[in-house]
């Protein structure tokens, strides 16, 4: 079968690498892809906002499955346009992608389905926001509604900071959610669903802050590891029963079933797991560590999700090892990154046994250069997290990327716990 993968990040490089290994994958295309993805797929220049053009391509190339990696085309309804024409798609339609696209939508769904999450109010103008703010103790969380690539959230330690965050949101003419602060450790749970059946698909912990020791501004993710033992099997079951299953059921009841991967960002509080947010896609860089551990036939599994046959599938085959990935970003990230910096040493890094997934890279006169914020995800697998961390950093040391930087402590919480 021919497959079309939409996206160009490290997540899509990891998906392309695994899809290309599936026996049923005849030809893999990626739009737009990147130089790393090009090792596994034919890159095609398609405007993914032009649904008719994507459909034409699918017909011309007899595409049997479209896998949508990033959130923007999901929220834009690309999956609906393709499904309406009979093309199987991995990824939710526009209505279901609101679980990621609108924080207000998700909070309202949690309230009506009694899903544990932070208390909140939705506000639509500055005066209302400032008035409602008083009812919340500090710290308080202020979120812009809509997609913000991890950057639309302020955990305000003072009223001043909260009022400034509210000011910035409404200067842009937006909507906001004010939330109660939840204390605990964060963990990510991935669940495949075809709208009815559920299949837990691994856990991970991400490092969202740009600096060592979880300091500095939020990013899309500077590193991750999987599995995340802090989400014990009992807590995972609780999160599925109390959070994910009622969400999938509510979406189906509303006539907008969610089909794809539901990525639940959870806070492990003293009262149990609570939902921080949903994403309607795999995490980046969490996908890189999941794909390093997944040993099954990815194409067959994603196709089963797309065709509503997930309930017939056996439990997914993951290695019991730990995978850890270190993101190398261009200086300036998460602000405006330096572009054009040269990248070398990928072959040397992979010779150590690690895998280098590419994100913001481009070829310039035959040389690999940085073209975005997050540039590489250096990923290793080992029997313990400490060994995986050591292996990933040994591979990072082989990379020659003078205009880049990385955190030096990915996995620190779990490494410390395992050393106890």
Q: Residue numbers of the site for ligand GLY (CB under 6 A)?
A: 150, 206, 220-221, 279, 283-284, 286
Angle at alpha carbon of residue 302, lines to 233 and 34, rounded to 5°: 105
Among ligand GLY, ligand AMP, none, residue 283 binds (CB under 5-8 Å by kind): ligand GLY
Among ligand AMP, ligand GLY, none, residue 221 binds (CB under 5-8 Å by kind): ligand GLY
277 binds ligand AMP (CB under 6 A): yes
Q: How far is the CB of 263 from ligand GLY (least distance, A)?
A: 7
The first and second tokens of residue 289, run together, are 């560590």
Q: How far apart are the C-alpha atoms of 285 and 213, rounded to whole Å?
A: 18
Query: What is the rounded (10 degree) CA torsion for 142, 145, 147, 152?
Result: -20
What DSSP character marks residue 313? S
Q: How far is the CB of 91 from ligand GLY (least distance, A)?
A: 14
Q: How far is the CB of 74 from ligand AMP (least distance, A)?
A: 16
286 binds ligand AMP (CB under 6 A): no
155 binds ligand AMP (CB under 6 A): yes
For residues 109 and 115, the answer to whether their CB atoms sit within 8 Å is yes
Residue nearest to ligand GLY (CB): 221
Rounded to whole angstroms, what are the CA distances from 52 to 108, 353, 376? 33, 42, 32
Name the residue among 335, 395, 326, 337 with its Cα closest to residue 370: 337
Which segments of 116-232 does DSSP mark as H helices, in order? Answer: 126-133, 159-171
Query: What is the rounded (10 degree) CA torsion for 260, 104, 153, 240?
Result: -40
Among ligand AMP, ligand GLY, none, residue 276 binds (CB under 5-8 Å by kind): ligand AMP
For residues 48 and 24, the answer to whether their CB atoms sit within 8 Å is no
Q: How far is the CB of 167 from ligand GLY (least distance, A)?
A: 26
Q: How far is the CB of 82 from ligand AMP (least distance, A)?
A: 27
**Which residue stretch of 127-135, 175-183, 230-238, 246-254 sits at the interface with ligand AMP (rule: CB under 6 A)?**
175-183
Q: How far is the CB of 51 from ligand GLY (least distance, A)?
A: 24
Q: How far apart are the C-alpha atoms of 135 and 75, rounded to whole Å?
A: 32
Among ligand GLY, ligand AMP, none, residue 179 binds (CB under 5-8 Å by kind): ligand AMP
Using the minimum distance from each CB to ligand AMP, give the nearer residue, 125 or 214. Answer: 214
The Cα diameter of the chain in Å comes to 59
List the one residue from 6, 89, 141, 165 that touches ligand AMP (CB under 6 A). 141
Footprint (CB under 6 A) of ligand AMP, residues 331-390: none
Using the minimum distance from each CB to ligand GLY, give the nearer residue, 304 or 388. Answer: 388
> Strands (DSSP E) along 185-343, which ranges?
185-193, 198-206, 209-211, 215-218, 223-226, 260-269, 272-279, 322-330
Binding residues for ligand AMP, rule CB under 6 A, total 14
Among ligand AMP, ligand GLY, none, residue 374 binds (CB under 5-8 Å by kind): none
Which segments of 282-335 does DSSP mark as H helices, in order? Answer: 286-293, 298-306
Using the minimum distance from each CB to ligand AMP, give the nearer residue, 14 or 153. Answer: 153
For residues 279 and 71, the answer to whether their CB atoms sit within 8 Å is yes
Using the minimum distance from each CB to ligand GLY, give the nearer residue, 70 or 116. Answer: 70
Backbone angles phi, psi at 152, to 5 degrees: -95, 20
Quick note: the x/- pattern for ligand AMP over 176-215, rule CB under 6 A, is ---x-xx---x---------------------x-------
Give the footprint of ligand AMP on this chain (CB under 6 A).
Answer: 118, 141, 150, 153, 155, 179, 181-182, 186, 208, 218, 265, 276-277
């Amino acid at each position: 079968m021919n497959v079309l993968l939409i996206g160009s990040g490290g997540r899509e490089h990891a998906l392309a690498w695994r899809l290309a290994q599936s026996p049923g994958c005849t030809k893999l295309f990626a739009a737009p892809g990147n130089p790393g993805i090009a090792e596994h797929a034919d890159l095609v220049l398609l405007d993914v906002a032009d649904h008719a053009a994507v459909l034409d391509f699918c017909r011309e190339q007899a595409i049997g499955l479209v896998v949508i990696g990033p959130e923007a085309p999901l929220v834009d309804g690309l999956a609906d346009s393709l499904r309406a024409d009979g093309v199987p798609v991995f990824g939710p339609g526009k209505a279901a992608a609101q679980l990621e696209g609108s924080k207000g939508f998700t909070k309202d769904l949690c309230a009506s389905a009694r899903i544990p999450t932070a208390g909140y109010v939705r506000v639509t103008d500055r005066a209302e926001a400032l008035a409602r703010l008083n009812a919340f103790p500090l710290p308080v969380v202020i979120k812009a509604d809509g997609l913000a690539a991890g950057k639309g959230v302020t955990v305000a330690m003072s009223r001043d900071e909260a009022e400034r965050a509210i000011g910035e949101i409404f200067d842009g003419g937006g909507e906001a959610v004010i939330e109660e602060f939840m204390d605990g450790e964060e963990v990510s749970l991935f669940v495949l669903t075809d709208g009815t059946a559920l299949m837990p698909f691994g856990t991970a912990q991400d490092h969202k802050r740009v600096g060592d020791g979880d300091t500095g501004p939020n990013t899309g993710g500077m590193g991750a590891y999987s599995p995340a033992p802090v989400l014990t099997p009992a807590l995972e079951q609780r999160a599925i029963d109390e959070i994910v299953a009622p969400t999938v059921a509510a979406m189906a009841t509303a006539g907008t079933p969610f089909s794809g991967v539901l990525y639940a960002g959870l806070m492990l509080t003293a009262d149990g797991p609570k939902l921080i947010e949903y994403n309607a896609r795999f995490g980046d860089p969490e996908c890189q560590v999941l794909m390093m551990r997944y040993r099954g036939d990815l194409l067959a599994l994603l196709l089963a999700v797309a065709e509503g046959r997930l309930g017939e599938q056996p439990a997914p085959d993951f290695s019991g090892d730990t995978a850890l990935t270190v993101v190398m970003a261009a200086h300036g990230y998460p602000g405006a990154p330096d572009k054009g910096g040269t990248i070398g040493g990928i072959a040397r890094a992979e010779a150590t046994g690690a895998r280098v997934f590419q994100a913001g890279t481009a070829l310039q006169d035959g040389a690999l250069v940085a073209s975005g914020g997050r540039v590489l995800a250096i990923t290793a697998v080992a029997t313990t997290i400490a060994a995986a961390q050591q292996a990933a950093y040994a591979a990072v040391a082989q990379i020659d990327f003078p205009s880049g930087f990385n955190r030096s402590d990915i996995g620190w919480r779990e490494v410390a716990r395992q050393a106890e």
